[in-house]
C-alpha cells in the first residue's frame, strides 16, 4: 500500500547499563498511513517514547542498540548512515515534545528557532525564511506573528509555546509527525485547542501522526489506531473503536477502568495494583502477569511461565493474553468494561 508512511517491524531498543541490559522496547511493529493517527498508550517506562525516538534516529550513545526495521520515505532507517537520517529529521519526519518551555531554547527568539528549522534543510534567503515562518505561525493560530517572532519562549504562554513547537515541526511539511505527550503539560482548555489544531493541520497537510500519550481521552479524540504498550512490549493493537468497545487485555481493562467516570455510581477510581516491571529483569511469563488479577483463570500457571504472543482476535485487532476470547468476554461483562452486547 502506497499510503503507508511509516512501517515499523520488530523494533527493539536495548541499553547496556551497569546493572544489566535494559530492554526498553521489545519487538514492536506498527504502521501509520497518510493522514491517519496512531496512538501509542502506556504509562511511564513502557517504552512508548523510546520507540519513537528510535524511529527519529535520536537514540544515541554507545550503550544503545536499536534493531528491527523502520521503513520510512522509501528507506530502511535502522542501520542507515546517521547523516542520512539527520537529513530526514525536521524535513520529512518531525517531533514535538511534552514540555514546550524546556523544548524551546531559552536564549533564542521564536523567529530565530523557526528560521533555523527552515534553513537547515533548504537554502533560502533570510527574508523568504522569515516570511514562511510568519505564515506558519499565523497558520497555527498565533496572533500578530511578526511581533511574536522577536519574542523569547519565556514570554509566551504554555499553549502558545506548543503552537510554536507545532509550527516548527510542520514548517517543512513533513510526512510524519511524532507527538510525544503534546498536551500533558498544558491546561485542559488549552489541551483541547492544541488537539484541534493538530487535527486541522493533519487534514490540511495529510500528515501521519504518531501520538504518544497516557491519556485515553486524547486517544478517543484523535486516534485511528491504538497500540497499548507495557513493559516495552505492544500488549494490544487495534483500531480505536475496537479498543474501547472490545478491549482484550487485562492491562487495557485496567487503563480503561482507571479513567474517572462522570456518571459512575461510585466515585472511587479503580487503579491497577502494583508497579510496572523493571525493564532489566522482565518476568519470564507475561510481562503484565505479576499485576494481573486474572492469571488464575489460565491453567498451569502459564501466565507466569510463558510469554504470550501477540495474537490476532480479528483482522485488525491483536492482544497478548493467555485467556481465551470467551474468558475475556466474560470478564468484560462482569466488570462492565467496553461495549457490553
**Residue 61 CB, nearest distance to other proteins (Å)?**
9
- Shorter beta-carbon distance to other proteins: residue 178 or 218: 178
User: Any idea which residue has 511461565 for its cell?
Assistant: 305
- Shorter beta-carbon distance to other proteins: residue 142 or 226: 142
* Residues between 95 and 154 that touch other proteins (CB under 8 A): 95, 97, 99, 102-107, 109, 116-117, 120-121, 152, 154
Separation between Cα atoms, residue 50 and residue 91, nearest integer Å:
21
Q: Is residue 89 close enough to count as binding other proteins by CB under 8 A?
A: yes
Separation between Cα atoms, residue 163 and residue 140, nearest integer Å:
6
Helix (H, G, I), strand (E, B) or coil at 131: helix
Among 316, 325, 308, 324, which residue's Cα sits nearest to residue 26?
308
Q: Is residue 56 close enough to count as binding other proteins by CB under 8 A?
A: yes
Q: Going edge to edge, which strands form the sheet with 4-17?
A: 20-33, 4-17, 64-72, 75-76
Binding mask 144-173 for other proteins (x = CB under 8 A): --------x-xx---------x--xx----
* 65, 87, 241, 339: which one binds other proteins (CB under 8 A): 87
**Residue 203 CB, nearest distance to other proteins (Å)?**
23
Separation between Cα atoms, residue 119 and residue 124, nearest integer Å:
6
Q: Is residue 224 close enough to count as binding other proteins by CB under 8 A?
A: no
Stretch that binds other proteins, among 84-92, 133-141, 251-259, 302-310 (CB under 8 A): 84-92
- Shorter beta-carbon distance to other proteins: residue 9 or 86: 86
- Shorter beta-carbon distance to other proteins: residue 91 or 223: 91
**Residue 73 CB, nearest distance to other proteins (Å)?**
13
In order, the DSSP letters of 222-283 are H-SEEEEEETTEEEEEEEHHHHHHS--SHHHHHHHHTSPPTT-S-----PPPS-PPPSSS--
- Shorter beta-carbon distance to other proteins: residue 171 or 272: 171
Numbers of helices and strands, H then E, in the chain: 13, 12
Size of the site for other proteins (CB under 8 A): 30
- If 0-12 CB within 10 Å is exposed, 13-18 middle and 19+ buried, where does residue 9 land? middle
* 40, 41, 70, 94: which one binds other proteins (CB under 8 A): 94
A 10 A CB-CB count for 43 gives 15
Compute CA distances 81 → 25, 263, 268, whole Å: 22, 54, 52
DSSP type of residue 307: P
**Residue 213 CB, nearest distance to other proteins (Å)?**
18
**Residue 16 CB, nearest distance to other proteins (Å)?**
12
* 27, 34, 71, 86: which one binds other proteins (CB under 8 A): 86
Separation between Cα atoms, residue 220 and residue 309, nearest integer Å:
26
**Residue 142 CB, nearest distance to other proteins (Å)?**
18
Please give the residue ranges that form the binding site for other proteins (CB under 8 A): 56, 58, 62, 86-91, 94-95, 97, 99, 102-107, 109, 116-117, 120-121, 152, 154-155, 165, 168-169
Amino acid at each position: 500500500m502506497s499510503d503507508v508512511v511509516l512501517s515499523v517491524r520488530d523494533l527493539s531498543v536495548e541499553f547496556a547499563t551497569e546493572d544489566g541490559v535494559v530492554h526498553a522496547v521489545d519487538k514492536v511493529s506498527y504502521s501509520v498511513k497518510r493522514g491517519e493517527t496512531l496512538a501509542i498508550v502506556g504509562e511511564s517506562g513502557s517504552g512508548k517514547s523510546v520507540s519513537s525516538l528510535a524511529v527519529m534516529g535520536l537514540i544515541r550513545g554507545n550503550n544503545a542498540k536499536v534493531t528491527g526495521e523502520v521503513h520510512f520515505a522509501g528507506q530502511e532507517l535502522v542501520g542507515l548512515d546517521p547523516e542520512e537520517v539527520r537529513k530526514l529529521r525536521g524535513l520529512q519526519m518531525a517531533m514535538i515534545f511534552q514540555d514546550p518551555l524546556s523544548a524551546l531554547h531559552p536564549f533564542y527568539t521564536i523567529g530565530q528557532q523557526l528560521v533555523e528549522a527552515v534553513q537547515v534543510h533548504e537554502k533560502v534567503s533570510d527574508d523568504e525564511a522569515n516570511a514562511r515562518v510568519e505564515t506558519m505561525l499565523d497558520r497555527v493560530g498565533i496572533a500578530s506573528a511578526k511581533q511574536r517572532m522577536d519574542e523569547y519562549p519565556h514570554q509566551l504562554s504554555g499553549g502558545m509555546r506548543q503552537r510554536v513547537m507545532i509550527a516548527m515541526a510542520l514548517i517543512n511539511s513533513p510526512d510524519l509527525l511524532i507527538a510525544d505527550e503534546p498536551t500533558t503539560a498544558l491546561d485542559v482548555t488549552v489541551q483541547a485547542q492544541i488537539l484541534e489544531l493538530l487535527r486541522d493541520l493533519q487534514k490540511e497537510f495529510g500528515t501521519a501522526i504518531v501520538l504518544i500519550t497516557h491519556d485515553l481521552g486524547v486517544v478517543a479524540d484523535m486516534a485511528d489506531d491504538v497500540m497499548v504498550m507495557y513493559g516495552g512490549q505492544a500488549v494490544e493493537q487495534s483500531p480505536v473503536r475496537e479498543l474501547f468497545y472490545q478491549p482484550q487485555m487485562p492491562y487495557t481493562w485496567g487503563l480503561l477502568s482507571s479513567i474517572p467516570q462522570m456518571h459512575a455510581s461510585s466515585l472511587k477510581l479503580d487503579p491497577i495494583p502494583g508497579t510496572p516491571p523493571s525493564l532489566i529483569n522482565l518476568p519470564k511469563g507475561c510481562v503484565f502477569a505479576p499485576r494481573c488479577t486474572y492469571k488464575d483463570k489460565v491453567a498451569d500457571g502459564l501466565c507466569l511461565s510463558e510469554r504470550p504472543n501477540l495474537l490476532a482476535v480479528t483482522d485488525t485487532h491483536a492482544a497478548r493474553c493467555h485467556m481465551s476470547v470467551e474468558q475475556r468476554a466474560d470478564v468484560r461483562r462482569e466488570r462492565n468494561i467496553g461495549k457490553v452486547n
